Amino acid sequence: MEIQFLENNLKKLKLFTILANLEPSLIKAHKNKINYDEFLFELTDVEVKTRADNRLKRLIRDAKFPIIKPIETFDFNAVPDLDLNLFKGLTTCSYIKKGQNVIFLGRSGCGKTHMATALGLEACKTDFRTKFISCFGLTNELVEAKEKIFLQRIVKRYSRYDLLILDELGYIPFTKEGAELLFQILAERHEKKSTIITTNLGFGDWTQVFQDENLTTALLDRLTHNAHIINCTWQSYRLKQTLKQNK
């Protein structure tokens, strides 16, 4: 048989990794007298692994993390007050399967964005469609989509992510319109899809940001129902590092 025929089929089936590995694999199989089943397994395994690897890369790229900060770069010794059982539990992503939310609450510099990003990367590894965006960025995107048809499309897109990470709620107050649109997305996601929020605001101060009291109550009700709340009571990591260096 002409090898060309086999190569053509592999091209038609879009099995490009197998195609690229075919010749060396055939040579190796002949030399080592490898069984057909073992040969086929090895060849398809590379294709399967390459596809999984590409998919992970695509998920991470699409999530648009500002910086890639995996869990391995987080120093747990620096945060003795963190509920380790809770956090390690979150890294398994079972909260995403249950459509639960996570709220990181605490002052600037204590690692909220880092932890949220680390959980986002774990979500990508578990094959969940993830999106990282600042609250300000999201409301801007919504407000700017003036025409109803575009707006609906954006709301739909953000409602579909398995995990939405909303960073920095509370740093900049919303306009009434922005708050209402954000509420729409969070209401759509409620109990179906997970949202992680990082904020420097205690729940009592949310009305300041959302302005409307009824809206804030409705929003908090949905967000905190069945949510994991991580209260970051510790000092800023950055500040601690600076103080250490200056000693």
Residue 70 CA, distance from chain mean position: 11
Distances from the Cα of 90 to the Cαs of 19, 40, 86, 189, 195, in angstroms? 40, 38, 6, 19, 12
Closer by beta carbon to Mg ion, 113 or else 216: 113
Distance CA 115, CA 121 (A): 10
CB of 104 to Mg ion, least distance (A): 9
User: Mask of contacts with Mg ion, 58-97, x by CB under 5 A?
Assistant: ----------------------------------------
CB of 61 to ligand ADP, least distance (A): 20
Q: Which residue is nearest to Mg ion (CB)?
A: 113
Distances from the Cα of 130 to the Cαs of 127, 227, 237, in angstroms? 9, 18, 26
Closer by beta carbon to ligand ADP, 226 or else 242: 242
Closer by beta carbon to ligand ADP, 111 or else 120: 111
Rule CB under 6 A: which residues touch ligand ADP?
69, 74-75, 78-79, 108-114, 198, 237-238
CB of 113 to ligand ADP, least distance (A): 3
Closer by beta carbon to ligand ADP, 18 or else 116: 116
130 half-sphere exposure, CB direction, 13 A CA radius: 28
> Phi/psi of residue 35, each to 5°?
-65, 160
> 228 is in the binding site of which of ligand ADP, Mg ion, none (Cβ under 5 to 8 A by kind)?
none
CB of 200 to Mg ion, least distance (A): 8
Residue 238 tokens read as 């950055």
> 43 is in the binding site of which of ligand ADP, Mg ion, none (Cβ under 5 to 8 A by kind)?
none
Residue 198 tokens read as 């990082």
What count of other Cβ atoms lies within 10 Å of the Cβ of residue 215? 18
Closer by beta carbon to Mg ion, 101 or else 113: 113
Distance CA 213, CA 121 (A): 35
User: Mask of contacts with Mg ion, 93-122, x by CB under 5 A?
Assistant: --------------------x---------
Distance CA 50, CA 46 (A): 6
Residue with tokens 């294709």: 47
